[in-house]
Chains A and B, each alone.
Chain A
Amino acid sequence: MSKYNITFADIGATVSVPRGTRIVEVAEKVGASIPFGCKENDCGECLVEVLQGVDNLSTPSALEIELLKQKFAKPGCRLACQAMVQGDVTLKPA
C-alpha cells in the first residue's frame, strides 16, 4: 500500500500513513494540537491550515466547503476530520 508523510508543523512530527487516512486520526494519535469535536463535518472545530501539499488531500465535499465558508476559513484551510491524505502534506492548526 502506498504511504505518505503527514507533517504537523506545530510539534515537529512527521507520520507516515497509508493513503486515505484522515488527518484527524493521525493528529489525535500523535498528540498534535489540532482540536476536533464531532468528526462529522458539523462543528468545524478541526480547522487546519495546510502549509504544503494542499492538492495532496482529497477534494472537499460540498458540505465541507459550506462549513469552511461559515468558519471564514482562509484559502488553504481544511477540516481535519474530512480531508484524506493522498500525498505528502504539512499542516498546522488554523
Chain B
Amino acid sequence: MNKPVWLSERVQWIGAFDPDMRSFDVILKTPNGTTYNAYLVRGSEGVAVIDTVKAECADQFFARLEAVCTYAEITTIVLNHLEPDHTGALPELMRRAPQARLYISQSAQLMLKALLNRRDLDFTAVSTGDNVSLGDRNLRFLHTPYLHWPDTQCTYLEEECILFSGDVFGCHFCDERLFNDKVGDFRFAFEYYYARIMRPFREHVMKALTLIDPLPINMIAPTHGPILRDQPTRYLQRYRELSGQRLHKELNAGEKTLIIFYISAYGSTTRMAQAIRDGAEQVAGVRVSLYDMEGGDADLFIDLVEDADGILIGSPTINGDAAKPLWDLLSAFSMVNVRGKLAGAFGSYGWSGEAVQMLEGRMRGLKMRVPLDGVRVKLIPSAEELELCVQHGRTVGEHLTGSNAPRVIDMADLLASRQPEVESNATLTRE
C-alpha cells in the first residue's frame, strides 16, 4: 500500500490515487477518478519535491514521501500550479520540512500569499532561464502561464530530460499502473481534458510548446493521470494539432466573419436577423452566417464561435428573459476563448425588451466587446424598423473591418444610452 513508483533511479512518483472522484471542479466528469501526481527528485546535494496533492489525499502523499526520504533532506519545494488539488498538502509539508525553499512562478506570488494566509512567507519567484541545483541534478523553470491558471509553470529536469508539466498534458484518469505504456486506453480522457481545461487558452498552449520544443524529452510527468514515458513527443504533437488552426477557413485574406444566432417566436426576430445580415454583407470584407438556434445545439456551434470575429445574438423577450437556447449557447462560450470578439444583441418584444440588455451584459461578462447598443423592435418590425436593422448591420460590419469612422462620444451620452429601459412599465400600464 502507498508505495512510491520509480520513474528513474533518482525520481519517484509520490502522488495519490483518487479512484472514486466523479466530477472535478464541477465542470469535468471523471468516470474513473483521477490521480494527483507529485514527484521527488534526489540530487547529490539536495532533494526536491515537485507539487503536492489535494488535502484529502495527504496521507498517501506523506506515506510515499517517507518511503524515499526524510523531511530533513528536503531542500526544495517546487509548485508548478497553486490550485488546491496540488497544494492541499503544502502547509503540512512546509511544517514538516521548514528548511525547504519554495519555488513558484512570478505570477503565483500574490496567489500564494492568499492561499497560505501568511505574511512572513519566504519563497523564490522564478521564470524561464532560472535554475535550482540539487548537485548532480538541476531543475530548470519554464514560464508557461495560463495553462489553465495565470500562475502555471513547467519544471524540467535537465540530466534526465523529464518535464514536470503541471496540469498541461495531464488528464483525469486513475490507473495504478501509472505509465502510459501500461495503463488502459486513456485517449478519451486526454482529449476531454484538453477540450475542457486547456482549449480556452490555446494561444498560451502554443507559446508553451515553443518553449518546450527545443528540449529533449524522455518523459512528461503531469499532475494528473498517466506519466507519458512512451513516445512523449506524440502528446506534444497532439497538443500542437489541437491548439493550431482547425479546418482551413474558406476565407479570403483579411475577411472578417460575423455569426448571427437567433431564436424567433413569431418571425419578427428572424426578419430582424435577416435585415442585419443584409446590412453587414454590404460591407466589403465581411462574411455573415445566420443560424436559427431552434435548429441547433450549442455544442455544435462552438468551433464556429471560436473562429468568428463577431457574434450577434437575437432573442425575443419572453417572460422578461431571453430564450433558453441562447443562454445555453452563451454558457458554451466559456469552452473557447471569446475575449475581445465583437458582440451584440437584438430582438423583438411584446411590452418589455429586457432580453437584449441581458444578453449584452452576459457577453460583456465574457469579456467580449459590445460597442453598439442593440436594436429592439416592438412586436412586428415595420419597414422603417427593418431599414434601421439594415443600417445597424452595416455599422456592425464597419466595426468589424475597422472601416467605421472614428467616433467622438461624450461619456454622459454613453451613460444615458446604457440605462435600463424604464419606458416598458409605463407602456404596460397604458395598454
**Cα(A14)–Cα(B407), bound, Å:** 6
The CA of A14 and the CA of B418, in the complex, are separated in Å by: 17
**Contact, CB under 8 Å: B411 / A14:** no
Task: Check B407–A70 contact: CB distance below 8 A.
Answer: no
Q: A36-B367, A71-B107 are in contact. Are A30 and B340 (CB under 8 A)?
A: no
For chain A, residues 51 to 91, give those with C-beta under 8 angstroms from any C-beta of chain B: 67, 70-72
| A21-B411 in contact (CB<8A) | yes
- Residues of B within 8 Å of A, CB-based: how many? 27
Chain B residues numbered 394-427 whose CB sits less than 8 Å from any CB in chain A? 399, 402, 404-411, 414-415, 418
Residues of B within 8 A of A45 (CB): 367
At the interface, yes or no: B214 with Cβ under 8 Å from chain A? no
Contact between chains at B371 and A70 (CB < 8 Å): no
Q: A33-B340, A35-B340, A72-B106 are in contact. Are A11 and B411 (CB under 8 A)?
A: no
Question: Top 6 nearest A-B pairs by Cβ distance?
Answer: A31-B371, A33-B340, A35-B367, A12-B406, A33-B369, A17-B411
Judge if B27 is at the interface, Cβ distance under 8 Å.
no
Nearest CB to that of B107 among chain A residues? A70
Distance in Å from the Cβ of B207 to the closest Cβ of chain A? Answer: 13
Query: Does B339 touch A at the CB level, under 8 Å?
Result: yes
Against A, the Cβ 8 Å flags (1 = close, 0 = not) of B90-108 are 0000000000000000110
Residues of B within 8 A of A (CB): 106-107, 109-110, 150, 339-340, 342, 364, 367, 369-372, 399, 402, 404-411, 414-415, 418
Give A23 Cβ to nearest chain B Cβ, in Å: 12
Chain B residues near A32 (CB, 8 Å)?
A: 369, 371
Known: A17-B411, A32-B371, A93-B340. A11 touches B399 (CB 8 A): yes
Please report the C-alpha to C-alpha distance between residue A19 and residue B157 in the assembled complex, in whole angstroms. Answer: 53
A-B contact pairs, 6 of them (CB 8 A): A26-B414, A28-B364, A29-B418, A32-B371, A33-B339, A93-B340
Task: For B110, list chain A residues within 8 Å (CB).
Answer: 42, 67, 70
- Residue of A12, A13, A70 near B106 (CB, 8 A) is A70
B369 cross-chain contacts in A, Cβ below 8 A: 11, 31-33
Question: Are A14 and B404 in contact, with the CB atoms below 8 A?
Answer: no
- B372 near A13: Cβ-Cβ < 8 Å: no
